[in-house]
Structure 1
Amino acid sequence: MIRFGGDYNPEQWPPHVWREDVALMRSAGISLVTVGVFSWSRLQPAEDRFDFAWLDEVLDLLHGNGIGVCLATPTASPPPWFTRAHPGAMPVTADGVRLTHGSRDTYCVNAPEYQEASNRIANELAARYGQHPALRLWHVHNEYGTTCYCDHCAPAFRRWLSHTYGEIGLVNEVWCTDFWSQRYGCFDEVLPPRATQYLSNPAHVLDYRRFSSDAMLTHYLAQRDILRPYGVPVTTNFVLGGWVPVDHARWAREVDVVAVDDYPESVEGHLAARAFVADLARGWAGGQPWMLMEHAPAAVRQADGVTRALPAGEARAAAETYVAGGASAVMYFQWRAGRGGAEQWHPAMVPLLSELAPIGRSLATRTPVRVESTRALIYDEQSMWAWQSPHLPTPFVDYTAITRRWHHAMGPPVDVLPIGAPLEGYSLVVAPALHMVPAALHKRLRSYVADGGTLVLTFGSGLTDEHSRTTPGAFDDLCGIRVARHRPGECGVRGVRDGRSGECGVCGVRDGRSGECGVRGVRDDRSGECGVGGVRDDHPSERGVGAKQHRPGEYGVWLDEIDPQDATVVLHSSEGRPLVTEHRYGRGLVRYVAADLPDPTPWARS
């Protein structure tokens, strides 16, 4: 069975509605619901008092109707009594502002009081419901991602640095602290990368993100270890996005099943975006089935803030896209929209059951797909973090959009892999804009090609090591080229008006129509319609092998000027610049794509 359901918040409704809900769930083929994600203030209305009677009734009602429960620990939203009693556990921004109660995620994972309260409520839930017959899965917390810079975090960060590097001299070395007289004499001198006069050290910021990911992981592991003895799988839901300081590839090793939330940002191309996430989740899961824990029912909330309904039939197409990528569950947020609160206008399942119920009934008869592929794309969240640094020569490289474009160009099936995954058995590996490349990965990529694999590298690959230290020419020998100069930020070296931001210039995005002409450049389902630099690609036939010419103005957000050396040029610009080269290395082949091409399809395939 592929499970079907969504987030259920019965505490927002009177008991007579619960019975109506369960009857609707049965008729719609709902087999699993997530309960309790934001229920802390109901479950523990005061520090010395718990109330589980309502949850007892809900779980019994669901079980009596054959509906399984994914039971959450509610630690993503502490109740008002907690934040009033422990104001020092509230998060502090990089600017030094301590946030107040009034939303979700009002906590610092490094605050001892919050850690203690989280473990206490997890223990209470485990003891009461660990043997409940409705229980199918534990759901720890919700969408980890809150970053804090408070005085609890500072000593925790120093301990993390000490554990990671051993001695302060190595921190100075990898952070290059002699620049701007930042050299530290001891760990006690190191602070979180709070707001400062000008640019922060990018290596400092990068390590703080790693520390934040590990600190949140420690919080998750404490609850997981409380829940695991009851013999039910434990997970947490991975939320995706550039703002999230979580290394999900690292976390995936600590969950019993990978679970992701996916919210595409545009109706146009949403199926291609979902296919990328499905392959990404499967890669984190090591090829095993994974869960879609949340997505919006039959709608997309776009990057511009507008919620748009999907065309008729595309809710099923969305579900089938996830299933084709190996999903073992298709879940929505949310079952029934609340009458009030911050997400009262978020789409919900109940008004759409005529469209959604047939999906659920169909999935109930099927089993998860096992995807086999001989082609892989490497995606690294830490490289995404590195591309976000404000010190870079351009702010317009959208790493995830670039990798998604290459993923779409490759065509299914594709395995999206973290940098530590084995490459043996793949005939083709594509690594677009892989900013940070540790020495171990350099070695593995060379071995892969030498043994007969085909590797595609692009502009922006191997710019730095894992500490954000530049590594000029890191791939030159492998690619048979010399990168003479990086030319970022020109957004179509010719043919683009850089001075009219928003029309077709550096950002390349029409202000109200995100993704239609911009840095992403290509409507995901209509490759080559509108280039990265805002120039139409009217000659897709000119992308064949054989040193064809490429139209000017379509170099996108980055161009490497390269000297071919031992490589063969297979695509020139109309100005004669080498844009794509190929080089034999051992028994394999390396292809280097020096520009942010709007349609990389011919170069994304073996």
Structure 2
Amino acid sequence: MPIHLGAAWYPEHWPEERWQVDLDLMRAAGLTVVRIGEFAWADLEPVEGQFDLGWLVRATEMAHASGLSVVVGTPTAAPPAWLTAAYPEVLAIDGSGARAQHGKRCHFDVTSPLYRAFCARVAERMALALGHAPGVIGWQIDNEYNRLTYSPQAATAFRLWLQEQFVDEQGRPSLARLNRAWSTSYWSERYTDWAQIPLPAEDNHNPGLVLSFRRFMTHAYREYQRAQVQAIRAHADPSHWITSNFMGFFDGFDHYPICEDLDLACWDHYIGTGNLDLDRAAASHDLTRGFKRRNFWVMETQPGCVNWAPINNVLNRGEARTMAWNGIGHGADAVLYWQWRPAPGGQEQYHGSLLGPDGRPRPFYREVGELAADLQLVGPLLDGTTVSAPVAVLHSYDDRWAIDHQRHHRGFDPLAHLLHYHRPIARRSIATDIVSTRADLVGRGYRLVVGAPIHIVDESIAAELAAYVREGGHLVLSARSGFKDYNNALPPQRQPALLQDLAGVQVEEYYAVLDTVKVDLSLGGATATGEAHTWAEWLVPGRATQVLARYGSGNGWLDGQPAVTMHQAGRGRVYYVGAWLADDLQDRLLAWIIAQAGVEPVLDKLPVGVRASRRGDVHILLNGGREAATVTLPWPGKDALRPDRAASDQIDLGPYGVAVVTNDQADQYQTGQRTSDE
């Protein structure tokens, strides 16, 4: 698959005689793909049951004739007024009981069977019209799923779903099982009828109920999506892929089961206020690649600025090009800008675009042209290449929901905690997969796996982790690992419960830290003193477990107690990090563990702010800052973006500079050192 560059195009906003002008400008900028249709339901079905797809077919044909591929979006994120007026039950109800109003988007009730039927029907009509149209390569279902609903029909569906989850030995629905799993004797919650179970619309509900509801909402979105996927697959060319566009680490639903029914994962990369953080963006790219464990698309990204942030600053000159290449380096096979041209009205008038409201190119249009020129030069080198990662960071929506519901310390943001472990790896330019805690790990080539934390642990998770470690893998477990069982209940063992034997440690007590605690780190003879904050656990190591860090004096309970341990298990090791270490200490610890695991960066000894990624035999170098930098390679490389320059071991990067470096002999060099015969 070639690396695509494109934009979201809304031909329904403009007279048809304007369309060819737009398409010509797209080709002049070097675009290769457009996404169309995803908010056009009112134009596709202006009256219930009366469809007008002719204009969409013509727009698709014109795009194809102009040399552009087409991604067709189903318009179901924004139902037309006739639908919401005639059938108000399709609108979502929030936790206060208020029904959503027409005029927004994603305001539908995902549990509504009636709404799903309307969505499947419009998706089917689109597939019948465009399923074999020249130029169409794929389909996007809906747009940025995000809303929960607390409607009566959601409550009914939730209770039916619970009856499938909690069953007795004969497979019959069992309230007794549910009551035991949720400890409903607490506060006299015990249910004697399924109809008594509420939706957790208020705060401080039972943790088991809350987690079950979030799992149910994932099920509801999967069923909603599946109805449209099936409608499209029944009529579209089998070569067409189907996707939906996600919002990075947004946790409104569990993305892993949602992606099981999709061919391709996509996300929408926006910065909002501020500037590009290469490592933070890398985490979202690694996450999206991990949904399907394959390359992905950036289906939307900002052309200069957004309109919804506190301060909607325009990205610096050259910054968006670096932003795009960062995605490509992490496995993106396409980058599409939102949007091509702003509509005269609507809620996003101030959002950046490639054209202005007058239909003429804005300054950012030129930068897109420069990126297109890059891809024309080096696209063939990247075609078919993938990212190979020696590290996996485990991620779980269940864990995030459970911790968010009971943080115990208001500062314990589960996503921030995960990124606290990902960032020291990313800043060393080490390729990393972010995958589900339920992903298979054995035989994947991971030298290091990080669980930060693996909060909810059941037998299957514990077994896979044990198999991985005993085969020689290195596993990091962070604080709060093994704290809950599958139903978000406390297990009968001390934390980390099912992982105790594997980790060679148990938690005597845990502490929400009011200020900071001192930590003394000792790694292979090198020592360092620093601090921990937010969370600290008093660890009790087994006899064969080595202590790597202890708490300093000043806390009382924690004074001198183990904070970080290492345990040999089979041919591998488990590191348990019982405290939220300050950044400097965290970086030092992760650097040591990375070395112990034998993990090599893509390139090392890079200047500050420079990152390297690798796809196949191609190295991508990025300068994330405004100051020029020079990279010294361990081998002579040639920058394919500057074909007039000879191969060299010195690569100069200007502010926000990019280099795409090739060298057939790169694998003959060990990272960070020359070969002995040099």
TM-score, structure 1 normalization:
0.87
Partner residue of 1:172 out of 161, 176, 179: 179
- Paired residue for 1:593? 577
Paired residues of 2:161 and 2:216 also in contact (CA < 8 A): yes
The structural deviation recorded for 1:238 is 1.9
CA gap of 1:73–1:262, structure 2 versus 1, over 3 A, is: same
Give, in angstroms, the shift of residue 171 of structure 1: 1.3
Equivalent residue number for residue 501 of structure 1? none
The answer to whether the 8 A contact 2:307-2:348 is kept is: no
Q: Which amino acid aligns with 1:570?
A: L
Q: Counterparts of 1:91-106 in structure 2 under 5 Å? A: 91-106=92-107
Give the aligned residue type for 2:52: D
Q: Quote how far apart the aligned CAs of 1:160 are.
A: 0.8
The 3-state SS of whatever aligns with 2:516 is coil
- Per the TM alignment, residue 10 of structure 1 is displaced from its structure 2 partner at its CA by 1.9
Q: Whole-Å Cα distance in 1 between the matches of residues 301 and 312 of structure 2?
A: 13
| 1:187-213 superposed Cα distances (whole Å, 9 cap, x missing partner) | 222222233xx6211111111111111
Q: CA deviation at 1:34?
A: 0.9
| Distance in structure 2 (CA, Å) of the matches to 1:432 and 1:464 | 14
Do residues 353 (structure 1) and 365 (structure 2) align?
yes
Aligned to 1:144: 145
Residue aligning to 1:500: none
Aligned 1:397-416 pairs, distance under 5 A: 397-410=412-425, 411=428, 412-416=430-434
Give the 3-state SS of the residue equivalent to 1:483 in structure 2.
strand
Listed one character per residue, the Cα deviations across residues 24-59 of structure 1 (whole Å, up to 9, x for unaligned) are: 110111111110111111111111322223223311
1:30–1:67 contact (8 Å) kept in structure 2: yes
Cα 1:301–1:39, aligned 2, differ >3 Å: closer, same or farther?
closer
Give, as a single letter, the amino acid of the residue that structure 2 aligns with 1:423: L
- Look up the match of 1:548: 527
User: What residue ranges of structure 2 are gaps of 5+ in the alignment?
Assistant: 168-173, 356-361, 554-559, 598-678
- Check 1:436–1:263 CA distance in 2 against 1; reply closer, same or farther (3 A cut): farther
> What code does the residue aligned with 1:203 have?
G
Could you tell me which residue of structure 1 aligns to residue 128 of structure 2?
127
| Counterpart for residue 536 of structure 2 | 559
Q: 1:6 to 1:387 in 2, by over 3 A?
A: farther
Q: Match for 2:540: what amino acid?
A: D
2:450 equivalent in structure 1: 430
Distance 1:455-1:266 versus aligned 2 partners, 3 A rule: farther
- Of Structure 1 and Structure 2, the greater strand share is in 2
In 2, are the aligned partners of 1:289 and 1:368 still within 8 Å (CA)?
Answer: no
Which secondary structure does the structure 2 equivalent of 1:152 belong to?
A: helix
Counterpart of 1:297 in structure 2 is 303
- Give the Cα separation in 2 of the matches to 1:268 and 1:315: 10
Pairing partner for 1:388 from 396, 401, 404:
404
Counterparts of 1:256-335 in structure 2 under 5 Å? 256-264=263-271, 267-268=274-275, 270-286=277-293, 288-299=294-305, 305-335=310-340
Matched with 1:236 is 244
* Structure 1 partner of 2:556: none
Q: 1:593 to 1:268 in 2, by over 3 A?
A: farther
SS of the residue 1:402 aligns to? helix
**Separation of aligned partners in 2, 1:376 and 1:418:** 9
Which stretches in structure 1 are left out of the alignment for 5+ residues? 495-536
Distance, in Å, in 2 between the alignment partners of 1:58 and 1:369 is 32
What CA distance in whole angstroms lies between the structure 2 residues aligned with 1:241 and 1:164? 27
1:417 aligns with 435
- Cα separation, 2, equivalents of 1:300 and 1:375: 33
Residues 263-296 of structure 1 show CA distances to partners (whole Å, capped at 9, x for unaligned) of: 345635621122111111121112x221111121
- What percent identity do the matched residue pairs reach? 31
Identify the residue that residue 487 of structure 2 maps to in structure 1.
467
Q: Deviations over 1:332-377 (max 9, x none)?
A: 2212222321111222233211111121232242425311122211
Inter-partner Cα distance in structure 1 for 2:305 and 2:561? 44
Contact 1:548 1:571 (C-alpha < 8 Å) held by counterparts = no
2:23 aligned with 1:18: no
Q: Is the 1:32–1:69 Cα contact (8 Å) retained in structure 2?
A: yes
Q: 1:128 to 1:388 in 2, by over 3 A?
A: same
Match of 1:336, SS? Answer: coil
Task: Tell me the SS of whatever aligns to 1:174.
Answer: helix
Residue 491 (structure 1) shift: 4.8
SS in 1 for 2:67: coil
Conserved? CA contact 2:9–2:36, under 8 Å: yes
Structure 2 CA distance for aligned equivalents of residues 457 and 164 of structure 1:
29
Deviates more, 1:75-84 or 1:161-170: 161-170
* Aligned residue number for residue 566 of structure 2: 582
Structure 1 residues 25-64: aligned runs within 5 Å: 25-64=26-65
Query: CA 1:277–1:414 in 2, change beyond 3 Å: closer, same or farther?
Result: same
Structure 2 letter corresponding to 1:596 = W
Q: How big is the shift at 1:301?
A: 7.1
Partner SS for 1:119 = helix
CA displacement, residues 65-96 of structure 1 (integer Å, 9 cap, x when unaligned): 01111111101110111111011221111121
Equivalent residue number for residue 602 of structure 1: 588
Distance in 2 between residues matched to 1:602 and 1:250, nearest whole Å: 36
Structure 2 counterpart SS, 1:558: strand
Residue 299 and residue 574 in structure 1: after superposition, are their counterparts in 2 closer, same or farther (change >3 A)? farther
Q: Cα offset for 1:388?
A: 1.3
Contact (CA 8 Å) 1:319, 1:330: kept in 2 or not? Answer: yes
| Count of residue pairs brought into register by the alignment | 553
* SS of aligned partner of 1:335: coil
The answer to whether the 8 Å contact 1:583/1:591 transfers is yes
| Superposition RMSD in Å | 2.2
Equivalent AA in structure 1 for residue 312 of structure 2:
T
**Mapped partners of 2:96, 2:526: distance in 1:** 52
Q: Judge conservation of contact 1:549–1:572 (CA < 8 Å) in 2.
A: no
> Rg larger in 1 or in 2?
2
Change (3 A) 1:573 1:455: same
Q: 1:407 to 1:45 in 2, by over 3 A?
A: same
* Structure 1 residue 224 corresponds to structure 2 residue 248: no
Matches of 1:333 and 1:72 in 2, distance apart? 14
CA shift, 1:150, in A, is 0.5
Cα distance 1:257–1:177, how it changes in 2: closer, same or farther (>3 A)? same
**Counterpart residue identity of residue 50, structure 2:** R
Asked if 1:251 is matched to 2:258, the reply is yes
Residues 1:449 and 2:456 are matched in the alignment: no
The amino acid that maps onto 2:257 is R
Q: What is the deviation of 1:547?
A: 6.8
Counterparts of 1:163 and 1:423 in 2: how far apart (Å)?
29
Contact 1:547 1:569 in 2 (8 A): no
- Assess, with a 3 A threshold, how the Cα gap between structure 1 residues 443 and 48 changes in structure 2: closer, same or farther: closer
TM-score normalized by the length of structure 2: 0.78
Whole-Å separation in 2 of the counterparts to 1:9 and 1:489: 52
- Following superposition, the deviation at residue 573 of structure 1 comes to 4.1
Q: Residues 271 and 297 of structure 1: is their aligned pair in 2 closer, same or farther, counting only changes over 3 Å?
A: farther
User: Would the aligned equivalents of 2:158 and 2:216 in 1 still touch at CA under 8 Å?
Assistant: yes
Q: Which structure is richer in relative contact order (CA contacts within 8 A, separation 6 or more)? A: 1
Do the aligned partners of 1:549 and 1:574 also contact (CA within 8 Å) in 2? Answer: no
SS of equivalent residue, structure 1 residue 308: coil
Paired residues of 1:9 and 1:35 also in contact (CA < 8 A): yes
Q: CA deviation at 1:299?
A: 4.2
Output the CA distance in 2 between the equivalents of 1:355 and 1:417: 33
Is residue 147–residue 245 contact of structure 1 (8 Å, CA) maintained in 2?
yes
Distance 1:478 1:56 in 2: 59
Indicate how the Cα distance of structure 1 residues 63 and 160 shifts in structure 2: closer, same or farther if over 3 A, else same.
same
SS in 1 for 2:341: coil
Contact 2:341 2:354 survives alignment (8 Å): yes
* 1:456 Cα offset (Å): 0.8
Hey, what does 1:530 align to over in structure 2?
A: none
1:577 Cα deviation (Å)?
4.5
- Identify which range, 114-123 or 560-569, moves more after superposition: 560-569
Aligned partner of 2:657 in structure 1 is none
